[in-house]
Every structure is written in structure tokens, then in C-alpha cells.
Amino acid sequence: MRLRKDVQLGFTIVEMLIVTAITTILVAFAAPSFDGLIKGSALTGTTNQLFMGLQLARSEAVKSGSPVVVCPTDAPYAAEPDCNNAASWNDGWIAFVDDNKDASRASGETLLKATEAMKFGFTVTADTAVSDYVLFDSLGSTRSTSNAYVSGELKLSYGDEERVISISSNGRMRVQ
């Protein structure tokens, strides 16, 4: 069997340029929506991490019968991490059993969880009631150190994407 010399095998340069141009146009239209998908997914993951930390603290407070605090810190992996009122929630946070109910980690109080700073670009804005700490009592309700019921919101943002964790005074939480 002999091959004919006039049969083309492959693509011409013009065909390749047309396919490349069409692909470039399609990618240019898809990239912005893909970027939004990535940001939304990253924000959902970060929100879920904080939400689950708050849920852990609440369930531990009910289980142990002791108050549990979740608070921001700028040194979550220090030898003895403690709450830092100057820190923001996006600097990192810790959850601990607060035996003396002062929303500050004393020596010997059990550390339940420590979480590092959020990735660059994330911001957390907290209501005044929950900007320094969230304290769950033995019934799972949120209280202040003066024993008053409190409720508030933690708003997480990444670019133009936003999620809100609402905490009611009975300790129930939801993500909006």
C-alpha cells in the first residue's frame, strides 16, 4: 500500500490560529466567573471553620458544664495562647474552657482549639457584643462576663463575597 503525497496529515497554521483565538475568547469570558467561584469557595471554607469552632465551644460547654470561650488572638500557637482584645478575628482565634468565667485564659485552663490567621484578603467585622470574645455557658447560651445574655454577628468578607455568622443569646448560630 502506497501513501499519496497530496494527502495532508495534521492541521494548517491558519486552522491552529483560529482554534487558539476561539479558545482565548472563551477563557476570557469564563475567567471572571471562575474567580468568583474560587473566592466564594474559599470564603465558605473559612466561614465553616469559624462556625465549627463556635459549635465545638458550645457543645463542650454543655457537655462539661463549664463555660467555654472563643476569642481572637494574634498568637494562637504560642506556648500559652490567650485572648488579645487588640487582635482581630482574622488574626487567629482560640477556644478554651474558662473555669473562672473572665474571658481570659488563665494557667491551667484547657485549650480546646487554636486556629491560625486567615489568608490574606479575608476580613472579619464583629458586632461590639462579640468583638472581644464569645462565651458559652453550661446551657449553651451566650453570655458576657457580667452574666448578661448577648447576641451578635461575625461578618466574614473576601473581595465582594460575604458571609455572616449570627449568634443568638440562646447560643444558636446560623450562617447567612
- Note whether residue 94 is domain-resident: yes
Domain-embedded: residue 7:
no
Domain-located, residue 4: no
pTM of the model: 0.80
pLDDT at position 5: 65
> For the chain, what is the domain count?
1
pLDDT greater than 70 at residue 6: no
Query: pLDDT tens digits for 13-31?
Result: 898 899 999 998 888 887 7
Calculate mean pLDDT across residues 25-39: 79
pLDDT at 30: 72
The share of the chain scoring above pLDDT 90, in percent, equals: 64
The model's confidence at residue 48, banded by pLDDT at 50, 70 and 90, is very high
- Choose between 110 and 119: higher pLDDT: 110
- Residue 83 banded pLDDT, cuts 50, 70, 90: very high
Residue 2 lies in a domain: no
6 within a domain of the structure (yes/no): no
Cβ atoms within 10 Å of 136's Cβ, excluding its own: 27
Between 40 and 54, the higher pLDDT residue: 54
Reduced 3-state DSSP string for 116-155: CCCCCCEEEEECHHHCCCEEECCCCCEECCCCCECCEEEE
8, part of any domain: no
pLDDT of residue 85: 85
pLDDT confidence of 118, banded at 50, 70, 90?
Answer: confident
Range of the domain at 63: 13-175
pLDDT for 96 equals 96
Interatomic CA distance for residues 103 and 93, integer angstroms: 13
What is the greatest pairwise CA distance in the chain?
A: 95
Q: Provide the b/e sequence for 35-58 (b: ≥16 CB within 10 Å).
A: eeeeebebbeebbeebbebbebbb
SS (H, E, C) 30-88: HHHHHHHHHHHHHHHHHHHHHHHHHHHHHHHHHHHCCCEEEEECCCCCCCCCCCCCCCC
Range with the poorest average pLDDT among 4-13, 67-76, 126-135, 158-167: 4-13
Stretch (H or E) spanning 161: strand 161-167
The answer to whether residue 79 is domain-embedded is yes
The CATH code of the domain that includes 44 is: 3.55.40.10
Any domain includes 5: no
Q: Residue 8's pLDDT is what?
A: 65
Distance between CA 45 and CA 155 in Å, rounded?
14
